[in-house]
Amino acid sequence: MNRRTFLGLMGAAGVTLGTGSVSHAASAADVKGLPDSGAVLFDATRCIGCRKCEEACNTVNELPKPQAKFDDLKVLETPRRTHADVFTVVNKYQPAGAKAPVFRKIQCNHCLEPACASACFVQAFKKNETGAVSYDASLCVGCRYCMIACSFGIPAYEYNEALTPRVRKCTFCEPRLKEGKLPGCVEACPKEALVFGKRSEIIRIARQRIMDNPDKYLDHIYGEHEMGGTAWMTISGVPFKELGMREDLGVEPAGSYTSGALSAVPVVVGMWPVLLGGIYAVSKRKDRIAEEEKQKAVTDAIARASADAEAKLSEELTKAEVANKRRIEVEVKKALEAAAQSQTSGEEE
């Protein structure tokens, strides 16, 4: 390929990238969407660590009963995480300087723009109007990108299942929500540490609680903006870091980090082969035709040259023949004259 072609190809590639529209994954300021979707507020100052929510989740989802019973509070001494058959756990934390321990319920946060849905290339995860981020096992291929993508480390996997393993996480009790009932854990909590409602309402309730009791709460609703906003939010009297909650997540939804690059894929896959292939084909054809013409010109030139040569040759040959003939005639004439002379001289004697 010559330089001109190369530069032309590069220019075309760049221009097409510009024409492709960048998919505008909404920033947090734009996530006004879904104010009416379901949300839950967890109040860390109310939770007493009784684990009734864990028991209710286990019952409602018909999960296998664990080894330690739900009223065994000694399990709180070790921090736990969600598992294939444990959709929610309560952990105990001892914040620095606090007299009493504080408890936190861990479960899927049902983000407004879920990272798991963004990472799943078969769209097995969907954010629904009820607020729940639902999982369709029939679409899942088991790549577990969702487990890596989730900043909260929630999705769990059925590693023990050989043939049909599933990704497992809190379902927000979607069937119950559709019936107008509360999620199992929310209904079971004796202290109303969990409150269910529309997301806009839940945020208002949280703000009201913080305003009414400024000494009791930190002035921040965790999940209002984190990772673009979550459906399950937390208010607390101790710093969220002390509850094992990440404070370094930022307000950008996970999908927005990759949407720029990913939006270029259709352009690259769709337009580049066609356009660049076309340019290549055109340029190749031009070269080929040029080559052909060159060949023809060469052939013609040779033909002409050979024709010229032939003509010259025959001309020269003719000339030579004529010259030859003349010489022969001359010689013959000479010889004849000589002969005639000798004859004449012979006769004189």
Partner 1 sequence: MEERKQRIPRSLVFLALCGVAGLLALAVSSGHATPQEDDGFRADIMSISVLKDYGPLTQPKVVFLHDKHTSALAKLGDKYKAQCNTCHLKDKDGKTGLAFMREANPASGSDLKKIYHDGCIGCHTGLASEGLKSGPLDVQCKSCHAGEPAVKSSWQPLAVDRLLHFRHAKTQEKADNKCGACHHVYDEAAKKTAPAPKEEQVPGSCAYCHKATDTVTPGGKPEKVRSLRLASHGECVTCHLETAAKGPNTPSGPATCSGCHAPLSQKDIEANNTKQVPAGADLRIKRHQPDRTLILALAPKAKNDPAAKSFTMAPVPFDHKAHEARGLSCASCHHETLASCGTECHTVAGSKEGGQVTLAQAMHSQTSDHSCVSCHAQEQKKPECAGCHSQRKPADTQDKAACATCHTTPAPAAPEALAALAAAPASAARADELARLASQLLDARPKAAPMLATEDIPEKVNIGSMAKDYEPAEFPHRRIVLAMAKAIKDSTLATAFHADETALCRACHHVSPVSKTPPHCVSCHSASGPGPDGRPGLKAALHGQCMGCHKAMGIEGKKPADAPADAKPVPLNTDCAGCHKQAKK
Asked whether the CA dihedral 254, 257, 260, 264 is positive or negative, the reply is negative
User: Which CB sits closer to partner 1, 165 or 197?
Assistant: 197
Which residue among 62, 129, 179, 212 contacts partner 1 (CB under 8 A)?
212
Which residue among 9, 22, 73, 279 contacts partner 1 (CB under 8 A)?
73
CB of 237 to partner 1, least distance (A): 12
Any contact of residue 266 with partner 1 (CB under 8 A)? no
CB of 174 to partner 1, least distance (A): 19
- C-alpha to C-alpha distance for 137 and 19, rounded to whole angstroms: 37
CB of 236 to partner 1, least distance (A): 16
Any contact of residue 347 with partner 1 (CB under 8 A)? no
CB of 72 to partner 1, least distance (A): 11
User: Which CB sits closer to partner 1, 83 or 92?
Assistant: 92
User: Which CB sits closer to partner 1, 46 or 126?
Assistant: 46
Mask for 171-210, x = binds partner 1 (CB under 8 A): -----------x------xxxx--x-----x---x--xx-
CB of 51 to partner 1, least distance (A): 8
Piece of 122-130, 172-180, 211-219, 334-342 that binds partner 1 (CB under 8 A):
211-219
| Count of residues engaged in binding partner 1, rule: CB under 8 A | 21
Which residue among 18, 97, 180, 214 contacts partner 1 (CB under 8 A)?
214
User: Which CB sits closer to partner 1, 208 or 324?
Assistant: 208
Mask for 25-64, x = binds partner 1 (CB under 8 A): ---------------------x-xxx--------------
- C-alpha to C-alpha distance for 172 and 178, rounded to whole angstroms: 11
CB of 112 to partner 1, least distance (A): 23
Any contact of residue 100 with partner 1 (CB under 8 A)? yes
- C-alpha to C-alpha distance for 254 and 116, rounded to whole angstroms: 9
CB of 173 to partner 1, least distance (A): 15
Q: In this structure, are residues 286 and 294 in contact, taking their beta carbons and an 8 Å threshold?
A: no
CB of 240 to partner 1, least distance (A): 21
- C-alpha to C-alpha distance for 333 and 336, rounded to whole angstroms: 5
Any contact of residue 96 with partner 1 (CB under 8 A)? no
User: Which CB sits closer to partner 1, 100 or 269?
Assistant: 100
Query: Can you give the three-state secondary structure of the chain, one letter per residue?
Result: CCHHHHHHHHHHHHHHHHHCCCCCCCCHHHCCCCCCCEEEEEECCCCCCCCHHHHHHHHHCCCCCCCCCCCCHHHHHCCCCCECCECCEEEEECCCCCCCCEEEEECCCCECCCHHHHHCCCCCEEECCCCCEEECCCCCCCCCHHHHHCCCCCCEECCCCCCCCCEECCCCCHHHHHCCCCCHHHHHCCCCCEEEEEHHHHHHHHHHHHHHCCCCCCCCCECCCHHHCECEEEECCCCHHHHCCCCCCCCCCHHHHHHHHHHHHHHHHHHHHHHHHHHHHHHHHHHHHHHHHHHHHHHHHHHHHHHHHHHHHHHHHHHHHHHHHHHHHHHHHHHHHHHHHHHHHHHHC
Question: Which of positions 278-307 make contact with partner 1 (CB under 8 A)?
Answer: none
Q: Which residues bind partner 1 (CB under 8 A)?
A: 46, 48-50, 73, 99-100, 182, 189-192, 195, 201, 205, 208-209, 212-215
